[in-house]
Structure 1
Amino acid sequence: MQLTPHFSLAELTASSTARRLGLDNTPSPQATVQLQHLAELLERVRAHLGAPVIVTSGYRSQAVNRAVGGVATSDHVQGRAADVVAPGYGTPLQIARGLAPLVGALGIGQLIYEHVGGKAWVHLSTRVPDRPVNRVITISNAGTQLGIQAA
């Protein structure tokens, strides 16, 4: 099922962990509605970056979320978040820095630049956090920091 011109439901629910462990990663009807909104956000991000956006982790069932070590309250479980890269634009740090000033204009609820264990990606959510200070953050081996911080 194509959600938007460049993002499908299959792409936003693909999980190598689910396949490897034989876990069901089918979203609920409510999560599917949220995935539609997420795909629309990803389209806006793609248009702004001028490069394809690759989803490395989208929707996660509770079982898949536990298997990957996600927090129980993860926006991924609700279909409201995706971890992305866009090699045609630049590194995840460059992507995060390019998007941070535009979170409101692009409708990004939360932007997290994550660089942990030698890997880096950008987490985008449609949900605006309760505390505005948590809208743009960095998560790294050093912990959580406000804004977009280099390693």
Structure 2
Amino acid sequence: MFPLVLVALVVVAMALTAPERGATLTEYAAAWRHFAPWEMTVTNTGLANEPTAAAAARIDYGVQAVLDPLRDAIGVPVMTSSVYRSPAVNDSVGGHSDSEHINGNAADILAAGYSPSSLANAVMHHVGAKVGKVITYDDKGHVHVSWAASGPPERLHATAPGADGKRIYHRIQ
């Protein structure tokens, strides 16, 4: 009886898909066309920055639903300056305590030949249905893009900072 139960457990474990067993970014990256796992966790803080299994699954969704299709649509490499941030990394870089980066739901991106404003427009045009927020940071030279792996996306766009130093959000059409 014991060997049969052991075999059954091994078969079930082998049948689990990556998200069900908590895959690593390296395992997810096998399905990515234009990005490497290290691009999702790069930091110059010197702090540990490994995503949880849940954050890795959300990053995988973002790469497959937003970043890879965007790269295909615009025809030039999309570079990430920040995707996942551990709470310690987020604190170190002055991120908001509720930053979408902590949960693996956002990326700060740039692309050769695109200003932040033109890249934000490309995001909204090509993958807007999959994004939650698009924030144009002309002063920092990048675009913040967020996604939600479940539920409807917020579909908001903002330029930051606005004239008064605050973001003004507009619905993405």
TM-score range, shorter chain: 0.7 to 0.9
**Residue 47 of structure 1, aligned match among 63, 72, 76:** 72
- Give me the whole-angstrom Cα distance separating, in 2, the residues matched to 1:108 and 1:46: 15
Structure 2 regions of 5+ residues with no counterpart?
A: 1-25
Deviations 1:42-63 (A, max 9, x none): 0011112111100011100000
Matched, 1:115 2:138: yes
Moved over 4 A (4+): none
Amino acid at match of 2:57: V
Task: Give the distance between the partners of 1:141 and 1:94, measured in 2 at CA.
Answer: 17
Does 2:35 match 1:11?
A: no
Normalising by the residue count of structure 2, what TM-score does the alignment of the two structures yield? 0.71
Letter in 2 for 1:47: D
TM-score of the pair, normalised by structure 1: 0.81
- Taking every aligned residue pair, what percent have the same amino acid on both sides? 31
Matches within 5 A, 1:1-150: 1=26, 3=29, 4-17=32-45, 19=46, 23-40=47-64, 41-87=66-112, 89-102=113-126, 103-104=128-129, 107-116=130-139, 119-127=140-148, 128-129=153-154, 135-140=156-161, 142=163, 143-147=166-170
Partners of 1:115 and 1:66 in 2: CA distance: 22
Distance 1:9 1:64 in 2: 17
* Higher relative contact order structure (alpha carbons within 8 Å, sequence separation ≥ 6): 1
Q: Which moved more, 1:33-42 or 1:137-146?
A: 137-146
C-alpha RMSD of matched pairs (Å):
1.9
CA distance, structure 2, for counterparts of residue 108 and residue 101 of structure 1: 11
Partner residue of 2:6? none
The residue matched to 2:80 in structure 1 has which SS?
A: strand
- Please tell me whether the aligned partners of residues 162 and 168 of structure 2 are also in contact (alpha carbons under 8 angstroms): no
Structure with larger Rg: 2
Of residues 136-145 and 47-56 in structure 1, the stretch that sits farther from structure 2 once superposed is: 136-145
| Deviation readout 1:59-104 (Å, 9 max, x if unpaired) | 00000001111111111000111000001x4111111122234411
Secondary structure in 2 aligned to 1:72? Answer: coil
**Size of the alignment, in residue pairs?**
135
